[in-house]
Chains A and B, each alone.
Chain A
Amino acid sequence: MVPCDEAHHVCDKTQYKESSFWEKLKLHFHLMYCKACRKYTRNNKKLSSTIHKAKVECLDKKCKEAMKQEFEKALKDQLK
């Protein structure tokens, strides 16, 4: 029998397509009898699809570094 925290873990990994076939199978059986984990899985999937739908944008690392450098310079100038 799979404990709930292991089920959560596999569920999380599944969101990122990083769970194995066997892990998914074990999760599937766990979900058959565990209502709490069914709810967790439902909410977890909803979160993934919401983020995917939103197509949120981020700044890449290089860009942030460049911004930081420019900002730090301005910060120094301000303190002079």
Chain B
Amino acid sequence: MPEHQLNPNKWIDLYSDYLFNYTITRVNDRDIAQDLVQDTFLAGLKSMKNFKGEASERTWLISILKRKIIDHYRKINSNKGKAEVRITYSDDESEGDWLEERVADPFDKTAEDLMQNSELGDAIFECLSKLPEKQAQVFRMKTIEGYETEDICKELNINASNLWVIIHRARTAMASCLEENWF
């Protein structure tokens, strides 16, 4: 019995940041990331009838996005792969002749950091998606996008004390969610 329904009208509001953050940490180009996210939504629209309702809407959209990202990598790699790669094995100045010394360390600190940060970003957005829409929106605008209190109040038509109550609830929920899933 399918549990989940699709609701495309809310996709961009609910998932665009999550999908974008997922993509940008793996693709490193804002414009390409935006395009991939939009392509994912459009592809999701086209294959709505294939949705079986077993996975959640977000999991389903992420799986479409992952395939789009893989296709993107295939495209850019096929352009590179045609060029000839020449490696000079001996270099008079350096001591070691072994190839191992010349290959970049795949586990250097920056690569590891990047990977962990992208997973952390995913965890943050996962927790954010568990919040009620209003809380998620206010928390995102204030904490991630860095809007001023006044601007958020104007935009969402709430007053400052509403905002702080919402922020308080959102932060409490986010902190406990991250405690469970990350720390």
Task: List residues of A whose CB falls within 8 A of some B CB.
Answer: 8-9, 12-13, 15-16, 18, 43-44, 46-48, 50-51, 53-60, 63-64, 67-68, 70-71, 74-75, 78
Contacts and interface: CB of A to CB of B under 8 A. Distances in A.
Contacts of B8: 71, 75
Given A50-B178, A67-B38, A71-B38, 7 more contacts: A46-B175, A54-B121, A54-B124, A57-B24, A58-B17, A59-B37, A60-B145
- Judged by DSSP, the binding face of B is helix
B3 to A, nearest CB: 24
A58 B136 CA distance: 13
Nearest to B125: A56
Interface in B38-61: 38, 41-42, 45-46
Across the A-B interface, the 3 shortest Cβ-Cβ residue pairs: A54-B120, A43-B175, A47-B175
Contact of B41 (A43, A47, A58, A67): A67
Contacts of B20: 57-59
Indicate the member of A13, A58, A75 with the most B CB atoms within 10 Å.
A58
A54 B179 CA distance: 15
A4 B48 CA distance: 49
Contact of B168 (A9, A18, A53, A63): A9
Contact of B171 (A47, A54, A64): A47
Nearest to A47: B175
Contacts of A71: 8, 11-12, 38, 41-42, 45
Contact of B183 (A46, A60, A74): A46
- Judged by DSSP, the binding face of A is helix
Interface string B139-153: 010111100010000
B12 A64 contact: yes
B81 to A, nearest CB: 29
Given A51-B143, A53-B117, A56-B125, A13 B178 contact: no
Interface in B1-49: 8-9, 11-13, 16-17, 20-21, 24-25, 34, 37-38, 41-42, 45-46
B83 to A, nearest CB: 31
A46 B175 CA distance: 8
